[in-house]
Amino acid sequence: MAITDIKEYAHLTEADVEALGAELDALRREIESDRGERDARYLRNTIRAQRLLEVGGRVALLGSKNRLAWLAGTTMLSLSKIIENMELGHNVMHGQWDWMNDPEVHSSSWEWDMVCASDHWKHSHNVVHHKYTNIVGMDHDVGYRMLRVTRDEQWQPKRLIQPVGNLFLATTFEWGIGLHDLELADVVAGRKPWDEAGPEVKKFGKKIARQLGKDYVLFPALSGPAWRSTIKANLTANLVRNLWAYLVIFCGHFPDGAEKFTEQDVENETRAEWYLRQMLGTANFNAGPTMAFMSGNLCYQIEHHLYPDLPSNRYAEIGIRVRQLCDKYDLPYTTGPILVQYWQSFRTIGKLALPDRFLTATADDAPETASELRFRGIAPRRGLKTAIADAKARAKELRRRRSR
């Protein structure tokens, strides 16, 4: 089940946690004092590349009755939408570039190229998810209210179809994100008044009209006789962007080692304890410079959750220091190949679609969610990484004995 005592789980004393927090605060101040022209140049180059790809894609699609032109235009448009969504929209709206005081790339003014209204996303993501990361019952990104990803949530028969729901969420990811903050289920149940929900629904409707009008009316009309193929290209580009964004997000939040937490353990949480929760509750995936860029540098999800408002182009260098701190305090640094990280997430979604009686691992020592109770009965060890290795060895031995 979810962790109820983070310090016990991490095998750290209160003094250890505060010392870790002080080192992470120092790293933040170091990066903040070093922000400057090279970071601004990176942002301007990213914006320029994204806009060139979009213009090139739109121009190519004017002649999209030609198969090669259609393929080139669709590819450029797909890359443009991914970059705008991941490396620009997501990171700009986190306030990563507010220090530049440029109104064009400020968190208060950016509106991204997807159906989700920026204000709604900033609330559900920046205010709720990043503050209450993986706290069951508080962070609505734990399963996106669609998927059971921890046994802390009671099984219900509707979970049997969640593998299908997972596929639906992947293909329509921008719509899921757009609806996420509206809490329409609470409106229907009477828990959220319409006078509060009404303006939010109206804003969402306006954003939908803007996006559908742009992608499926304006640009197809500009293509003249090729309007059908332009609609198909826009549908394809949006689908590619949705699938890629879904993959990146799920690899950072639902693979093995991305732990869950309980509400009572964070009632009086210090800044240092918040840092520790971010490190235990998120995961990275291995990526070179190109994949890092195309993921919005969210291959460094641990670093992003520690410093969501620092420039994304700094996460690679921050990651080196964070890994060193994990070694120093004997904490896991959860990462792996992207396909492995996704497979673990996919396996959890499929497994937890079933009733608990069909599951083999104990609720406190399951790959997808563990608690401090997984270490009970194991001799005290120096740190968390060592304790996890011992717990895994014990679980393996128990499975071997049962199979005899």
pLDDT recorded at residue 17: 94
Q: Using the predicted structure, report yes or no on whether residue 10 has a pLDDT greater than 60.
A: yes
Q: How confident is the model at residue 52 (pLDDT cuts 50, 70, 90)?
A: very high
Partnered with residue 261 across adjacent β-strands are: 3, 135
When pLDDT is averaged across residues 272-299 and rounded to a whole number, the result is 96
The residues spanned by each domain of the chain are 6-35+114-321
Mean of pLDDT over the chain: 91
The token duo for 353 is 């679609």
pLDDT tens by residue, 92-127: 999 999 999 999 999 999 999 999 999 999 999 999
When pLDDT is averaged across residues 235-264 and rounded to a whole number, the result is 95
pLDDT recorded at residue 246: 97
Percent of the chain having pLDDT more than 70?
96
More confident call, 223 vs 397: 223
Q: Using the predicted structure, report yes or no on whether residue 397 has a pLDDT greater than 70.
A: no
Distance CA 84, CA 3 (A): 36
Residues 6+ away with beta carbon under 8 Å from 233: 57, 61, 64, 70, 73, 74, 77
Poorest-pLDDT segment among 58-67, 106-115, 320-329, 387-396: 387-396
357: buried, middle or exposed (CB in 10 Å: 19+, 13-18, 0-12)?
exposed
Block residue for tokens 């022209």: 37
Query: Could you tell me the CA-to-CA distances from 131 to 123, 135, 179, 277 in Å, in that order?
Result: 11, 9, 20, 10
pLDDT tens by residue, 23-32: 999 999 999 9
pLDDT recorded at residue 186: 82
pLDDT recorded at residue 404: 58
pLDDT recorded at residue 264: 80
More confident call, 78 vs 192: 78
